Structure 1
Amino acid sequence: MRRTALVAGAARGIGALAARRLAAAAWDVVAVDTDEVGLAATALRSSNTHVRAFDITDPKDVAGVLGVTGAVHRLVIAPPLTAPEPSLDEVMRHAFLGPAGLVHAALPGMLERGAGEVIVISPSGASPATAAAAAAARAFVEALAAEQRGRGVAFRCASPHAGVPDRLVLDEIDRSLARPGEVYVAPGGAPGPLRLALRRPRRARASAPPR
């Protein structure tokens, strides 16, 4: 059975690269975004990539696309920043509230099957608004992973810093999927607190007696 992936934010950047990689690996890809021209470029010469205009902040669009795809095997959410200096409200809607709504809508199908992957990529950015959205997305994904532990669904959240190549981010996410228990992925940076917490603590070395 061919695996199905839903990629939101697939018109450009890391979302487009994720969609093209999955299609090249023989996944059945549904690529969604508000930018129809960008979606057409993403799906160019790919017979197994299907595109759909989609606003992640619109519950009707979310219900509509999942009504077409059914239960997906992998959900990738990579919301692009919509403006050089977006407002806090705009960033939170597109980079946190919209993605959270899509995850909540897609998750029941994965849980019913007992298998699935949820990947949320939220660039940390340089502004307070983007940093807040990235932190909220990470906390949300980590909480879901803890709540649904042992039910067959893998959760990953990445907040790459500016300048980290998209391919390296996706490579690190793919590698992390082979490491059970890891939720936060830190491409190009130090491991996040959850990843550190899941490591076994080292035994303290006995200190040498003072001379």
Structure 2
Amino acid sequence: MKRTALVTGAAGSLGALAARRLAAAAWDVVAVDTDEAGLAETALRSPNMHVRTCDVTDPKAVVDVLAVIGPVHRVVHAAVIAPAAPVLEQPPTEVKHVLSTDVYGTMHIVRATLPGMLERGAGELIVCAPPPEPGATSAASGAVAAYAEALFREHGGRGVTIRCVHLDDETPARLVLDALDRSLARPPGDLHVRPRRGRALPMRRPAPR
């Protein structure tokens, strides 16, 4: 059976490694980013990797990519940015860019992929909360985590595995992905993955009403 994975931020260190690992495991990988040169490097010597230029802050661009690639079985949304600046000194334009990329970008990817997974009753949705750096990045980190919790409460137990990976500045990409793999091998009650702590923290799904 063909397994398709969508990896965003695939020109960055985490996204690139995630895409390469999935391709090596015989997944059909669609790697997206705005950095064409970086995408080309990620896909080097990976015949089952397909690159698409896509800005996750543009919901139409995201939908257009999904229309081309068809059903997705795993999403690794690693397209996050994390500039650090004191709250009162960070330019409003940078604040807007951080929130557009990290928060709205996450929402655009989820809205374009999760409904199909829920309809099929299967899939894996992984979102990444940026490191809680000073300024807007800290707000974005909390927002992504809260959004993931809302998704988990509303859709946990419907066949789709949901994970929120909490990134930090210290853990190498390979260890982040190792922690994610361990989490995916456990029961679906583990929502939050915190690689620096070496374990996933469970969020208990509420009982059905």
Query: 1:98 deviation in Å?
Result: 1.1
Flag structure 1 segments of 5+ consecutive residues without an equivalent. 199-211
Q: Aligned residue for 1:201?
A: none
Letter in 2 for 1:44: L
Distance 2:95 2:166 in 1: 17
Flag structure 2 segments of 5+ consecutive residues without an equivalent. 205-209
Q: Aligned residue for 1:177?
A: 184
The structure-2 alpha-carbon separation of the partners of 1:82 and 1:136, relative to structure 1 and needing over 3 Å to count, comes to closer
| Matched-pair contact (CA < 8 Å) for 1:79–1:122 | no
Distance 1:11 1:83 in 2: 17
SS at match of 1:90: helix
Q: Aligned residue for 1:186?
A: 194
SS at match of 1:132: helix
| Matched-pair contact (CA < 8 Å) for 2:83–2:133 | no
May I ask how many residue pairs the two structures share in their alignment?
A: 197
Distance 1:78 1:151 in 2: 24
Within a 5 Å distance, the mapping from 1:32-181 to structure 2 comes to 32-81=32-81, 87-180=94-187, 181=189
Larger Rg: 1
Segment drifting more, 37-46 vs 134-143 = 134-143
Deviations 1:117-147 (Å, cap 9, x if unpaired)?
0001122142221111111111111110110
Query: Pairwise CA RMSD of aligned residues?
Result: 1.9
| Matched-pair contact (CA < 8 Å) for 1:70–1:109 | no
The structure-2 alpha-carbon separation of the partners of 1:155 and 1:18, relative to structure 1 and needing over 3 Å to count, comes to same
| Matched-pair contact (CA < 8 Å) for 2:156–2:162 | no
Letter in 2 for 1:66: L
Distance 2:133 2:116 in 1: 36
Distance 1:152 1:144 in 2: 13
Segment drifting more, 37-46 vs 156-165 = 156-165
Query: 1:8 deviation in Å?
Result: 0.7
| Matched-pair contact (CA < 8 Å) for 1:3–1:73 | yes
Query: 1:15 deviation in Å?
Result: 0.6
Give TM-score scaled by structure 1 length.
0.87
Distance 1:165 1:190 in 2: 12
Letter in 1 for 2:55: D
Segment drifting more, 9-18 vs 82-91 = 82-91
Give TM-score scaled by structure 2 length.
0.88
Query: 1:190 deviation in Å?
Result: 7.5
Deviations 1:13-56 (Å, cap 9, x if unpaired)?
10111000000000000000000000000000110000011000
Letter in 2 for 1:99: T
Distance 1:34 1:66 in 2: 16
Letter in 2 for 1:129: A
Deviations 1:155-182 (Å, cap 9, x if unpaired)?
0011121111111111111111122200
